[in-house]
Amino acid sequence: MITRQTTLVLGAGASKPYGFPLGSELRESIIALTRPGDEIAAMSGLAKDELLKPFVFAFNASRLYSIDAFLGIRTEFADIGKRAIAAVLLHAERRSGLGSMQIKSDWYDYLWNKVTSGCSWESLSFDKLSIVTFNYDRSLEIFLIQAMMNTYGVNEQDAITKLDSLRIEHVYGSLGALWMGTERTFIPFGQQWQSSIVEQAAKGLVVIPEARHDAPSFVAAKEVLSNASAIGILGFGFDEQNLMRLDSTHTCSDRPSEAVIRPVVATCYGLTEHERLAATNRCAVGLHTSFINADCLGLLRQTLLLG
């Protein structure tokens, strides 16, 4: 079991092993929506929207890496842009590799085995774990529900009730609630991406320029980071605006106070040495901290963050 208060910060790379796109891949999928016969555009109803072609043309020609950055400048495309994001990610949910034994670098499995080590169903708790995620997908939540049902032989409602002890902050929203009885729209995982579902899912998304550092989701994220005894930053791109909204020099520091030193570890997969140093500076951590060139599973295994 996890014995110290641990917060994991998740970026797009954390969902990559389960079939979800990185920012560059999301860009490619959105640009592909105007290609003849594109399945996502047809099933989502986007192909019939007269704004699709001008939106995709402008995004492609902008040469911007990030759809969020583009929508922050070209606000007239905000609605169709969010519907395009929702359609691509709902498609990814339907095609996700959750449950497959062939997933490489499966850090969800590793996390689950750490959480459950030595735990009966009665003693199983997520009280020592918090998640701050910049991702819209719900893959971690559905993984944990399925894992609980099959590990302990409990029903879905019991698993959902147990999961309530896990604090998950989707700072930019999500594709929808995974179960009924919440304030958000209920959209089952792997839902067919028909137009009405895409529109509902898009309403739950907040692109970067629309968010504020004092939004409730960021206030909550900063709280759990400040209270953590250990922090793991997984699959994250260290975008300057995202870190600013987290107040990262304070909330992600390895020295939250003069009296406390805590481990802060991060994946820096594919970053140059200068980019890695810039990331440590933005999080106000010492060079002894483990910001290393590894994927999520590799980082957790090398640093033993979860015990």
37-53 mean pLDDT: 95
Give residue 259's pLDDT.
Answer: 82
* pLDDT per residue as tens digits for the range 75-90: 999 999 999 999 999 9
Give residue 260's pLDDT.
Answer: 86
Phi-psi map region of 105: left, alpha, beta (phi>0 left; psi -120 to 50 alpha): left
Give residue 20's pLDDT.
Answer: 96
Give residue 40's pLDDT.
Answer: 95
* pLDDT per residue as tens digits for the range 122-168: 999 999 999 999 999 999 999 999 999 999 999 999 999 999 999 99
Check if the beta carbon of residue 62 is closer than 8 Å to that of residue 70.
yes
Q: Which fold has domain 1-19+104-172+209-307?
A: Rossmann fold (3.40.50)
* pLDDT per residue as tens digits for the range 160-187: 999 999 999 999 999 998 887 666 688 9
Give residue 212's pLDDT.
Answer: 76
How far apart are the C-alpha atoms of 127 and 225, rounded to whole Å?
14
Give residue 257's pLDDT.
Answer: 86
Which amino acid does the sequence have at 194?
A: Q
* pLDDT per residue as tens digits for the range 282-300: 999 986 689 999 999 999 9
Residue 209 has pLDDT above 80, yes or no: no
How far apart are the C-alpha atoms of 36 and 50, rounded to whole Å?
15
Give the 3-state DSSP-derived string for the chain, with helices as H, strands as E and coil as C.
CCCCCEEEEECHHHHHHHCCCCHHHHHHHHHHHHCCCCHHHHHHCHHHCCCHHHHHHHHHHHCCCCHHHHHHHCHHHHHHHHHHHHHHHHHHHHHCCCCCCCCCCCHHHHHHHHHHCCCCCCCCCCCCEEEEECCCCCHHHHHHHHHHHHHHCCCHHHHHHHHCCCEEEECCECCCECCCCCCCCECCCCCCCCHHHHHHHHCCECCHHHCCCCCHHHHHHHHHHHCCCEEEEECCCCCHHHHHHHCHHHHCCCCCECCECCCEEEECCCCCHHHHHHHHHHCCCCCCCCEECCCHHHHHHHHCCCC
pLDDT above 70 covers a percentage of the chain that reads 97
Give residue 304's pLDDT.
Answer: 96
Those residues with Cβ within 8 angstroms of residue 70's Cβ, 6 or more apart along the chain or in another chain: 58, 59, 62, 64, 77, 81
* pLDDT per residue as tens digits for the range 262-279: 999 999 999 999 999 999
Chain mean position to CA 121:
27
pLDDT band, residue 103 (cuts 50/70/90): confident
- All CATH 3.40.50 domain ranges of the chain, comma separated, are 1-19+104-172+209-307
How far apart are the C-alpha atoms of 104 and 270, rounded to whole Å?
17
What mean pLDDT is reported for the chain?
93
Give residue 258's pLDDT.
Answer: 81
91-119 mean pLDDT: 89
Give residue 181's pLDDT.
Answer: 64
26-47 mean pLDDT: 96
